[in-house]
Amino acid sequence: MTTASSQQPQSGAERPVLTNRQGHAVFDNQNQRTIGARGPATLENYQFLEKISHFDRERIPERVVHARGATAFGFFEAYGTVGDEPISTYTRAKLFQEKGKRTDVAVRFSTVAGGRDSSEVARDPRGFAVKFYTEDGNWDLVGNNLGVFFIRDAIKFPDFIHSQKPDPVTFERQDPNRAFDFLSQTPESLHMVTLVFSPRGIPAGYRTQQGFGVNTYKWVNAQGDTKLVKYHWMPKLGVRSLTAEDAANIQATDLGSHTRDLYEAIERGEYPEWELSVQLMDDDEHPELDFDPLDDTKVWPEERFPLRKVGRMVLDRAPENFFLENEQIAFGTGVLVDGLDFSDDKMLVGRTFSYSDTQRYRVGPNYLQLPVNAPRAKVATNQRDGQMAYGVDLADGQNPHVNYEPSILGGLREAEHPTHDEQGPVITGRLTRKRIPRTNDYQQAGERYLLSEQWERDDLVANLVDALGQCDRPIQERMVWHLLMAEDELGLRVGEGLGINPDDVGHLEPLPTQVLSDEERARLANLGKNGPRDVAGREMTHCVPNERVVVERCRAVRRPAARRSRPTAAPPRTSRRRRPASTGARARCPHPRCCARRGPSTGPWPPGS
C-alpha cells in the first residue's frame, strides 16, 4: 500500500513536471496572473479557471467544503453609525443607514473539511456565512470563525483542500503527514495554524464563536469615495472553546452537538446574538505597514485600526425543512449591494468566481430561484430556461417576447448608476505572476501565540506535537524551523516535544519560494535565541478572552456532561501530550444516576449554553 509517509523526498530534477489537462507545463502554480503583484486579477487566467472549475465539481451533490452545517434565520439591526460617526460618511449601502432598521438574514454555520455526516467538534475552521435579504437585493458576507486563512492566493485553494482531505488512494483518514507536507511548504499558513491547532480550532458551539469576513472589501459612499473594510462578528455570549479531550468526549456520543445546541436554544427562546463591527482603512497600498492590507493571512492591528460597531444580528428561527433551507442555501462572495464593493484581495477575487460557479454546478443554474436563495427585492432578468427552471423573471409591464437588451419593444433597460462609475486608486502595473512583496509570514503568528491565554498556548503546543509526531522527520524539522522563526518559545516547546532543537534545523535554508526580509534574516541567524517579540499595546480581535468548556464522558448515558471554567494555573511544560488543568464547578448532567454525584449543578446544560 502506498502512503504519503512511505514516499522518499525527491530532488528537484527527478520530480515529474506539473501540467494542466491540455498537456501544458505549469510554470507558476503559486500565483494568479494579475496586473502588478497586488492585482487585480485578469479574466484570462486560464490555468486558474480550469483548476478551480474542476475543483468546484469534485463532489456530487454534497459540498466539496462546508458540507456539514446548520442554517438559522433572524434579523440584522443597524445602528445608523460607524462608531461615533454617521455611517453615510463611508458607505451608501441602505441597510446600514437608519438606526433600528432591520433586515432579514439567513446564517449558515459549518465545518470545512468534513463530510455532511461528520463530527461538528472536529478540529477545523468554521464557516460563518450570512445572507442579508436587503431592499437592494441580497448581500452575502461569507467568512469563517477565525480571522485569517491558510493561503493568500486562490490558485492554491484546491491544493490546500486536497492536502486536508483523506488520502485519494486509501481514503482512510485525514493524514497529518499530507497536511503538514503542504503546510510546511506554505509559510503563509503559519498564522492560521496557530489558530486552528489552538482551542479556537474547536468552538464549544456555534453560538459562542466569532465570525470574520476574513477578506478585505471596500465601502463606497455617495460621492464615490472608497475605504478598505474588514468585518467582525462578536458573540454576545462570549467566546468558548474545547480541547481535543473535551471534543472527544462529546464526539463519542454525538456528532451533531453544535446543531442541536443552536436549535434547542432557539426553541427555548434564547436567541443567539452577535454584534457586527468593522475596521476601516484608506484605500491605498499603505507602504508604511509591515504587511499588505489585502493579505488574508493577516489581521489589522486594532490599536491602529480600531473596531467600530455598526449593528447587531439575532437568530430567532430554525429551518422548517433542513434540506430546503440548509442543503440548498447558496452563498457567494460576489453577492454585494450598492455601497459595498470588492478589493483586489487575490483570495477574494478567486472566491468570487468559485463560489457562484460551485452553486451552479451543485444546485443548478437556477439556484437563485429557490426561496431560500431568492432576494426579497423584485427580480427582472433576461435569463431564461436551464435545468430546473420554474419561473420567469419578468418585471411588471415587461414584454414577455423580449428577452434581450437594448430594445424599444417593451424590454428591460439599464438602471441609472447612483454615482460615477470610476472609484478607488489608479492602478498601474504589468501583467505578471508574482506574490505580494510584503509577505511577513512570521510576525503575526508569533504575536498571536504571545497574546494567547496560557491554557491556549499549552493546548496549541500539545496539539502540534501530537499531529507532527505522526509526520516524517523532514516535515517535522521544517515546521519547527517555521515555528522558531515565528516565536522562540513556541518553536522550542514544540521542538522539545518532537526531540528537535534549533541546532537540528539551523542548517535549513529558506524555501525556494521565500524571500526573507532583513528582519527575518536576522531572526534566522539567531534561530531560537531571539527572545520574545514585543507585543506591548498590540490588540488582535482573534485573541479576545476564550473560556474553556470542560466536557466529561458521561458513564451511563448517551450525552456528555459539561462545565465551563477558566484555568487558574497553567500545567507544567512537558514533551508529553498533557492537557491544560482546569478548575471550577461542574454543570449537572440531566441524568442524575450518572453525573449528579460528581458535583453540584452551577451552570447551564447543554455544552456551550
The catalytic site residues sit at 66, 144
Q: Do 46 and 24 meet the contact criterion of CB atoms below 8 Å apart?
A: no
Rounded Cα gap, residues 404 and 391, in angstroms = 17
Q: What kind and span of H or E run contains 76?
A: strand 69-78
In whole angstroms, what is the distance from residue 237 CA to residue 448 CA?
23
Instruction: Kindly give the interhelix angle for 473-486 and 488-498, rounded to the nearest 10 degrees.
Output: 160
Query: Any idea what DSSP says for residue 521?
Result: H
User: Which three three-digit cell numbers place residue 66?
Assistant: 462546508
DSSP 121-171: TSSS-EEEEEEEEETTEEEEEEEESSS--S-SSGGGHHHHHHHHSPPTTT-
Distance between first and last Cα of the chain = 46
Q: What would the grid cell of residue 449 be?
A: 501565540
Which 3 state secondary structure label does DSSP give 86?
strand
Question: Three cell numbers at 161?
Answer: 483542500
Q: Is 312 in contact with 65 (CB distance < 8 Å)?
A: no
CA pair distance 336, 217, nearest whole angstrom = 10
Q: What is the DSSP string of 290-311?
A: SS-TT-TT----TTTS--EEEE
| DSSP state, residue 557 | S
For strands 546-552 and 239-241, give the pairing.
parallel
Give the phi and the psi of residue 412 in degrees, each rounded to 5. Answer: -80, 160
Distance CA 460, CA 202 (A): 12
Beta pairing partners, 563: 550
DSSP codes of every residue in 399-431? -TT--SSS-SSS---PPPPSS-S--S------E
